[in-house]
Structure 1
């Protein structure tokens, strides 16, 4: 599947990065956990939206600097359901998560919570709307995008409690990728696009267009 067939923030960010060094990406839609595995095995070259971890550095090269450093984790609820004001309010609630994703240390390591992982955040929103789970946790930008795409803004709300801290988010290159030979150029392009504000403009423009009213047929 080529880059013109699908769209999204990550599609545009990766395209901008690779075009800067003269490459046109070919995207492979897949669940997050499979995408990470493909990077580890060398079946995919590059991934975005990934957090740096020591175990991942065995198979991946993280492009410095991170292309964004703030990644709010938000809990979404159905309208007219009790708010989540404190972390302890998560107790006794069923929580939709994305399989293989990490959110924040307290939540990730808390085995007392009723987490229900599946491979797709859009499916989590559908489960939320149907009442099969009480809440979902997702990165705010992804959640807002999916709410607009699924046309459910009138059905869900954000909880008061959220985790909003500095979290570096990276592009990572498979150590088995042929793109490793282009690492100096990739690092230079990544830094240029970050420091010039190009990545931020791509993100801002995407959300501005997403929330514009549809143009009627002429």
Structure 2
């Protein structure tokens, strides 16, 4: 009984510490459809809706905020946010953040080209001399970030990157496969943009929180509940709703992505 009492007390500690004085867990993220995005004022997405379900089951209230990714990182570093949704594991931030053992999803970074200027790259070396549109605050794995054979040009949004691609201001755009497909459909670019065969990297996405009182327990409970939810029909339906996502478990293949520091 003493052991059980300690476990129950520990399980309640996180919720009580957050609930004290009406506090909520402050989570920041960048729109990253179809994982998380704003649909005419309503937040949607596979990882967002999964996270909402898990926190509801844990009895944790959450305050959400959409920001550019570099600003999300700054909020975490400055202590103005408690956690971030769909963040990649970076050893550089292990002293700041705690990551659950169970990932939310896995992204696959690929490159897209305009059909009237095809670049069907098979390898990174095939990008030699080209200008690749990127997103601020992200790097895409060491092979991509360390390469000197091509140029990188950031844009403020995925839509801006694809717009520049159509205008011929850049040669290719790098982004997650499903994100790219979502943007192409949303912008009506079917038949105008294609994906090259090369896969730049794969990386698991997490809900990570700042280190603090009770947070280590929170990530343990989050991981356990997330793992249970993934086995349920409700998750299968949610995954199908957003395109039949292949979601890896903690033992899945990972290519480490390092994200650049916030301002």
TM range (shorter): 0.7 to 0.9
CA distance in 2, matches of 1:104, 1:183: 25
Moved more, 37-46 or 58-67: 37-46
CA distance in 1, matches of 2:96, 2:43: 27
Query: Which of 81, 103, 113 is residue 117 of structure 2 equivalent to?
Result: 81
Unpaired stretches in structure 2, ≥5 consecutive residues? 1-37, 245-263
CA deviations over 1:89-139 (Å, ceiling 9, x no partner): 211111001112132221011144200123322211111122211100001
The reply on whether 1:60 has 2:97 as its aligned counterpart is yes
Query: Which of 152, 169, 181 is residue 205 of structure 2 equivalent to?
Result: 169
CA deviations over 1:12-56 (Å, ceiling 9, x no partner): 232222222123433211111211222232322222222211111
Match of 1:159, SS state, is strand
Is contact 2:96-2:211 (8 Å) kept? yes
For residues 1-218 of structure 1, what are the structure 2 equivalents within 5 Å? 5-68=42-105, 70-82=106-118, 83-163=120-200, 165=202, 167-176=203-212, 182-196=218-232, 201-207=237-243
Comparing both chains, which one has the higher relative contact order based on Cα–Cα distances under 8 Å and sequence gaps of 6 or more? 1
Moved more, 176-185 or 110-119: 176-185
Is contact 1:62-1:170 (8 Å) kept? yes
Q: CA distance change for structure 1 residues 15 and 115 in 2, over 3 Å: closer, same or farther?
A: same
When Rg is computed on C-alpha atoms for both structures, the one with the higher figure is: 2
RMSD value, Cα: 2.7
CA distance in 2, matches of 1:34, 1:178: 25
Is contact 1:67-1:199 (8 Å) kept? no
* TM-score, normalised via structure 2 length: 0.68
Q: CA distance change for structure 1 residues 126 and 179 in 2, over 3 Å: closer, same or farther?
A: farther
Unpaired stretches in structure 1, ≥5 consecutive residues? 209-218
Q: CA distance change for structure 1 residues 177 and 141 in 2, over 3 Å: closer, same or farther?
A: farther
CA distance in 2, matches of 1:174, 1:199: 27
Moved more, 89-98 or 111-120: 111-120
Q: CA distance change for structure 1 residues 9 and 50 in 2, over 3 Å: closer, same or farther?
A: same
Runs of 4+ in 1 over 6 A off after TM superposition: none
Match of 1:55, SS state, is helix
CA distance in 2, matches of 1:97, 1:38: 22
CA distance in 2, matches of 1:109, 1:201: 39
Moved more, 108-117 or 54-63: 108-117
